[in-house]
Amino acid sequence: MRFDEVSSATIDDIERRIERELSSFDTLETAAQRFCETLFEVFSESTVLVRVFATVPLRDLPAANRAFVEGLAGGRKLAPRTPVLSLLGTRGIRPRWNDRRLSEGHVGIPLASTEFVDAIPMIASLVKQLGVAIEESAVETAIVTQSLGRAAGVFYVDDAATSVDASGRPIIAARDFVREHGVRTVFGFGGAYALTGTFVVTILFTREAIARAQAERFMRLANQLKASTMRPVGRKRIFAG
């Protein structure tokens, strides 16, 4: 199916499938992986890659993830509570895109400050479009978490090959990836769990030009993903194993 064929009935069907398949998983990672697989299967005609990220405090990351994030911070001191936008699910047209452990550059991104986030164009655009305010402060991690807890919306990049941010930088910086796979519209949808403040966002890289109004239909799936994974998130069961 193509994204331009999506109707309210399509979203209804996907919601029911998500509710049926995800509610039995005991970690957010296993549910996120299945969610990616479901979207990829339904929209295989147009999808290059689907990924799910969620904010996880630095102290709760697996050792390998924490080492990656601390290396990415480049010597910047990160607090144990620093929220890290962590890759939990991934499904794409290449085999190595089907296991989060094989990711080389997107394991986790610390949301440590405005300056740090602004250095990564796609993440900067994502948090701005979702209404996230990141402020420098002695308690900056708490401020980031509170802001994310209030945010919900759609991330939208009309044309991955030409869209730039306010500074003129390509929002999708991986130009070779865009050219090689004919990536057109990139969009995402996300929201926060009311009790924990954990923020989860799904991002789709597509070969199709998709109108913003069509992308906004998928916000309902953000709510269903949260509803279906409330139990493991409430128990802080984020990573499998």
Specify if 187 maps to a domain: yes
Q: Is residue 240 part of a domain?
A: no
pLDDT at 134: 53
Residues 24 and 117: their CA atoms lie apart, in Å, by 35
Phi, psi of 16 (to 5 degrees): -65, -40
**pLDDT 10s digits, 72-125:** 888 788 989 888 999 999 999 999 999 999 988 889 999 887 777 778 888 888
In a domain, 239, yes or no: no
Give the number of domains in the chain. Answer: 1
In a domain, 71, yes or no: yes
**Residue 50's closest CA among 9, 24, 14, 19?**
14
The answer to whether residues 88 and 111 touch, using CB atoms and an 8 Å cutoff, is no
* 88 within some domain: yes
Residue partners of 14: CB distance under 8 A and separation at least 6: 38, 39, 42, 221, 224
pLDDT recorded at residue 139: 31
Q: Collapsing DSSP states into helix, strand and coil, what is residue 104? A: coil
Which CATH number covers residue 86?
3.30.450.40
52 falls within a domain: yes
Please, which residues bridge with residue 204 across strands? 50, 187
What's the pLDDT at 197? 82
Q: Decide if 196 is inside a domain.
A: yes
What pLDDT, on a 0 to 100 scale, did the predictor assign at position 235?
A: 94
Q: Which residues of the chain have pLDDT under 70?
A: 131-152
Q: Which residues face 205 on adjacent strands? A: 49, 186
Instruction: Give the whole-angstrom CA distance, residue 227 versus residue 112.
Output: 28
> Which residue range is the domain that position 23 belongs to?
3-234
Is position 31 within any domain? yes
This prediction has a pTM of 0.90
| Residue 170 burial class via C-beta count within 10 angstroms: exposed 0-12, middle 13-18, buried 19 and up | middle
